[in-house]
Amino acid sequence: MDRVTLRGLRARGHHGVFPSEREQGQTFVVDLVLGLDTRPAAADDDLAKTVHYGIVAEEVAQLVQGEPVDLIETLAERIARQCLKHEPVREVEVTVHKPDAPIAVPFDDVTVTITRSRV
């Protein structure tokens, strides 16, 4: 399976279990690895036969900016489901980063990574 990767997509969301996270919001970063067969698109040089990563990026940003959830696990699941709606995509790996998580000790990043595929 071939891979199309999008790394470092940033959007502001209001996800989290604490009221301050819901009220103030914070930046979330999303990495995607989309598994698909790129041969048909490459053979015909045809965007319609692959996944349009620009559209996927916009959809993911809308999800991050959209309805708040408590857990980044839930956000990752929503993103994976949306990616799998694109016909060529057979598998997706989603990593949601929460670099400004409310943690009382120094840290670089918090991430959740999930992999989902078509049933």
Q: 96 Cβ partners below 8 Å, 6+ apart?
A: 28, 29, 30, 72, 75, 76, 79, 111, 112, 113
- Is 85 an active-site residue? no
Q: Which of 61, 62, 98, 111 is catalytic?
A: 98
Question: Contact 87/33 with Cβ under 8 angstroms?
Answer: no
Question: Where does residue 96 fall: left (phi above 0), alpha (psi -120 to 50 degrees), or beta otherwise?
Answer: beta
Residues classed as catalytic: 98
